[in-house]
């Protein structure tokens, strides 16, 4: 089975790549236990109903020192989603589903999961004029699997993915993209409407400190204390230390386009050695964010953390 390719007419693809300037329906695919930034993004999304209406959360696989393998990483991410739901009343009714237990074993081989099946069902139920936004902040396995399971969803979704590094960066061996290169190529090559938010050189501007989190997050109710405690544990020494909260860039893009200036570029080619293979003008267009204005993003996030708290 070859990688499916979108049959969206060029003008409709470009229309899908335009900023929605409205509240959108979205699902969030997240490796929630991997780093501390996913937790911020989950809560940011739930506290931004004027821009995003979260329909489901999907646990994504990951493998590093915090997990024994992709399956364990996915399961830990699922349990972290359950933990956050216990702190955030508005999240209690939003479905939380387990994703893939492995990465794609090949370029055209999907991995079946609750998350992939749910994504297919929600996408196919979406009207053509109201696509489902698929916000991904981990390895793109679940999304690529859904595309391979049902290629028709390419015409009913818009993917917003934190993946890779800036197009000028010397390599793109970034954690989300490098974990599952088969899945990454499915998304980059399929023609799906894609908003790519690179890590180094773009979302790397989203750094904050324990002092800032103490002043503007800690006392914002149970979720504020949870985020503060999580941040505090991420380093043994916070002197002159800052941490990038990468994943909130995806929610920030949907919240306010001015904070995430972007451009239309040909979809880049991911090479075997983990680099961008240059821009080929014959490839389909994607939108690529080229900078993030961190002050506006954190001002919005910190303000929203107080919503619903006493």
Distance CA 287, CA 115 (A): 25
DSSP class of residue 285 equals: E
Q: Which two tokens stand for residue 274?
A: 């983990």
**CATH number of the domain within which 238 lies:** 3.90.245.10
In a domain, 2, yes or no: no
Smallest CA-to-CA distance from 198 within 240, 124, 253 is with 253
In a domain, 5, yes or no: no
How confident is the prediction along the chain (310 residues), in pLDDT tens digits per residue? 578 888 899 999 999 999 999 999 999 999 999 999 999 999 999 999 999 999 999 999 999 999 999 999 999 999 999 999 999 999 999 999 999 999 999 999 999 999 999 999 999 999 989 999 999 999 999 999 999 999 999 999 999 999 999 999 999 999 999 999 999 999 999 999 999 999 999 999 999 999 999 999 999 999 999 999 999 999 999 999 999 999 999 999 999 999 999 999 999 999 999 999 977 899 999 999 999 999 999 999 999 997 655 4
Which residue range forms the structural domain that includes residue 66?
10-305
Give the per-residue pLDDT at 308.
Answer: 53
Q: What are phi and psi of 71, to 5 degrees?
A: -65, -45
Would you say how long the chain is, in residues? 310
Give the per-residue pLDDT at 310.
Answer: 42
What is the total count of domains within the chain? 1
Distance CA 245, CA 162 (A): 12
pTM: 0.96
In a domain, 96, yes or no: yes
In a domain, 4, yes or no: no
């Amino acid at each position: 089975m070859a990688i499916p390719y979108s049959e969206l007419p060029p003008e409709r693809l470009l229309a899908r790549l335009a900023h929605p300037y409205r509240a959108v329906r979205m699902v969030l695919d997240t490796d929630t236990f991997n780093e501390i930034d996913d937790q911020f993004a989950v809560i940011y999304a739930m506290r931004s109903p004027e821009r995003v209406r979260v329909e489901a959360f999907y646990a994504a696989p990951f493998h590093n020192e915090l997990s024994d393998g992709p399956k364990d990483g996915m399961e830990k991410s699922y349990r972290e989603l359950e933990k956050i739901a216990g702190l955030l009343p508005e999240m209690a009714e939003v479905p939380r589903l387990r994703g893939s237990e492995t990465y794609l074993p090949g370029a055209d081989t999907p991995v079946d999961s609750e998350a992939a099946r749910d994504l297919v069902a929600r996408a196919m139920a979406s009207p053509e004029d109201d696509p489902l936004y698929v916000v991904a902040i981990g390895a793109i396995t679940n999304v690529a699997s859904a595309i391979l399971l049902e290629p028709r969803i390419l015409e009913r979704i818009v993917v917003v993915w934190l993946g890779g590094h800036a197009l000028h960066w010397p390599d793109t061996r970034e954690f989300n993209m490098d974990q599952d290169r088969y899945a990454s190529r499915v998304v980059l090559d399929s023609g799906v409407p894609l908003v790519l938010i690179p890590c180094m050189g773009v979302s790397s501007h989203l750094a904050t400190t324990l002092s800032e989190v103490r002043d503007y997050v800690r006392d914002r109710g149970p979720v504020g204390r949870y985020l503060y405690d999580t941040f505090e544990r991420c380093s043994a020494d916070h002197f002159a230390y800052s941490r990038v909260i990468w994943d909130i860039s995806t929610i920030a893009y949907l919240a306010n386009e001015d904070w995430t200036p972007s451009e239309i570029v040909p979809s880049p080619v991911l090479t075997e050695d983990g680099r961008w293979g240059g821009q080929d003008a014959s490839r389909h267009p994607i939108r690529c964010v080229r900078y993030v204005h961190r002050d506006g993003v954190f001002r919005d996030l910190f303000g929203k953390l107080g919503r619903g708290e006493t």
